[in-house]
Structure 1
Amino acid sequence: MSALLEVSGVSKSFDGFKAIDNLSFAIGEPELRAVIGPNGAGKTTFMDLVTGKTRPDSGTIRWGELSRDLTRLSESRIAREGIGRKFQKPTVFEDQTVWENLRLALKGTRGPLTVLTYRRDRAERIAALAEEVGLSDHLARRAGELSHGQKQWLEIGMLLAAEPRLLLVDEPAAGMTSAERERTTAMLVEAAKTRAVVVVEHDMEFVARLNCRVTVLHEGRVLAEGSLAHVTADAQVIDVYLGRG
């Protein structure tokens, strides 16, 4: 498995507070990775740095076969490079239908010579995406009518429509029913078969369902890494995050 994203010696401070402190780790392709840690561990700042929302004070973030340094690229360019991010609160066009939301998110050319083929391919792609995220029966519904969990799935579908190589997902299980959480687990596991998927999550039961490599952040650094069983048995992880007893 080759490294798709390589974070090397990255640090970031805000008004004297070091949110990220000489952080280094790598994500492969394909791979499913969970990132956990206490509040203030640097999880959100890590995603901000990768997507270009925030610039590091030092270090590099290398991307892809050409090892491009993402710290030199704009947010829009990073998105075009194939990095998608899902925030904790779903962001969809609530007045538009599920179909329209997915159509707006699709990646593809729209030149006049390809419009007929594009329309046919587009319809097939939208149907496939809806099936992938469990919304085939809701294509004609306004997004605002969906449940919280269904809106989360729609946003994941919209991100997948852009065909990212790396998908960053922030607390996808929050506010979901048990059945929705099971479907979300299967969705992320399936997505990670063909791309890198990084899931930031506090819910340890949900992380266990993902059955993937786990990175524990603390004070902006990697505290432990490995299987969930390995990191949850680590004394330092117990002290700073899981607690004793």
Structure 2
Amino acid sequence: MSSLLEVSGVCVTFDGFRAINNLSFQIGPAELRAVIGPNGAGKTTFMDIVTGKTRPDAGRVLFGEKSISLLRRSEAEIARIGVGRKFQRPTVFEDQSVADNLMTALKAARGPWKVLFWRPGPADHARVLELADQVGLAAHLARKSGELSHGQKQWLEIGMLLAQEPRLLLVDEPAAGMTLAEREQTTAMLVDLAKTRAVVVVEHDMEFVRRLNCKVTVLHEGSVLAEGSIDHVTADPQVVEVYLGR
């Protein structure tokens, strides 16, 4: 299978500390992957590198069929190429309705010049309905975003990212602070999204990762320690030691 994202031999050092150490990682075009690891394993730095926030000292990061290098590209360029990132804390426009948030995201996806003259048409309103349905908020379009639960705000932000039609979605700890019902709906949503794009979920919660039922990559000290099913990696003595033995 050809890969959508290829991270190869990447190293990053901060003030003498090797945060990422010869990291190599691949994900396919329609794949759900969980990335786990203890604090300081390099999970956030890995996402920072892929999205252009952090420049590595060495290695390469290639994206898409044409193997476009993401290094030396700005965060905005990388977003336009098709990489979306969902941070841990939801950032939505709380005074705007759910529909307005999604429409704002559609507008932002148009590019800087087109935005100046853009007016939403029937196709845009239809797309907002489609996005809301995709993230379980179709019944809440008129509500102010500030009135939503924490989980619903997370879903809205995912919907806003989907408006940009990313081919790769990086999602940071989506289950944190959610109710059990919200966690179950989030699991179903991420599994569904990964049918049409690559979704990488960075997560601490092993029970949530188990529910995702996908390939798991374990990071430790900035490199891949183990990879495989959740049962495979949790049975690995090195993984057990890293998580439980320190």
TM-score by length of 2: 0.94
Query: Residue 127 of structure 1: which of 124, 129, 132 is its match?
Result: 129
8 Å Cα contact 1:52/1:73 also seen in 2: yes
Determine the C-alpha separation between the residues in 1 that align with 2:244 and 2:64. Answer: 34
Which residue is 2:222 aligned to? 220
Structure 1's consecutive aligned runs of 4 or more residues displaced over 3 angstroms after TM superposition are 107-111
Which residue is 2:205 aligned to? 203
Instruction: Spell out, residue by residue over 1:112-158, the C-alpha distance to the aligned partner (whole angstroms, 9 max, x if none).
Output: xx978x61111111111111111111111111111100000000010
Match status 1:177 vs 2:179:
yes
Determine the C-alpha separation between the residues in 2 that align with 1:67 and 1:130. Answer: 32
Which residue is 1:186 aligned to? 188
Instruction: Spell out, residue by residue over 1:71-117, the C-alpha distance to the aligned partner (whole angstroms, 9 max, x if none).
Output: 12111100000000000000111111100100011145897xx978x
Determine the C-alpha separation between the residues in 2 that align with 1:194 and 1:172. Answer: 19
CA RMSD of aligned residues (A): 1.8
Which residue is 1:22 aligned to? 22
SS of residue in 1 equivalent to 2:3: strand
Which residue is 1:87 aligned to? 87
| Structure 2 runs not aligned, ≥5 long | none
8 Å Cα contact 1:232/1:242 also seen in 2: no
Instruction: Spell out, residue by residue over 1:1-48, the C-alpha distance to the aligned partner (whole angstroms, 9 max, x if none).
Output: 320000010000111111100000101110000000000000000000
Deviation at 1:65, TM superposition (A): 1.1
SS of residue in 2 equivalent to 1:26: strand
Deviation at 1:209, TM superposition (A): 0.6
Which residue is 2:147 aligned to? 145
Deviation at 1:235, TM superposition (A): 0.4
Determine the C-alpha separation between the residues in 2 that align with 1:188 and 1:216. Answer: 19
Determine the C-alpha separation between the residues in 2 that align with 1:209 and 1:123. Answer: 34
Q: How many residues are treated as equivalent by the alignment?
A: 242
Question: What are the within-5 Å matches in structure 2 for residues 10-159 of structure 1?
Answer: 10-106=10-106, 107-108=109-110, 119-159=121-161
SS of residue in 1 equivalent to 2:152: helix
Aligned amino acid, residue 187 of structure 1:
M
Report sequence identity in percent: 72
SS of residue in 1 equivalent to 2:176: coil
Which residue is 1:8 aligned to? 8
SS of residue in 2 equivalent to 1:24: strand
SS of residue in 2 equivalent to 1:72: coil
Deviation at 1:69, TM superposition (A): 1.1
8 Å Cα contact 1:82/1:164 also seen in 2: yes
| Structure 1 runs not aligned, ≥5 long | none
Which residue is 1:167 aligned to? 169
Determine the C-alpha separation between the residues in 2 that align with 1:79 and 1:134. Answer: 24
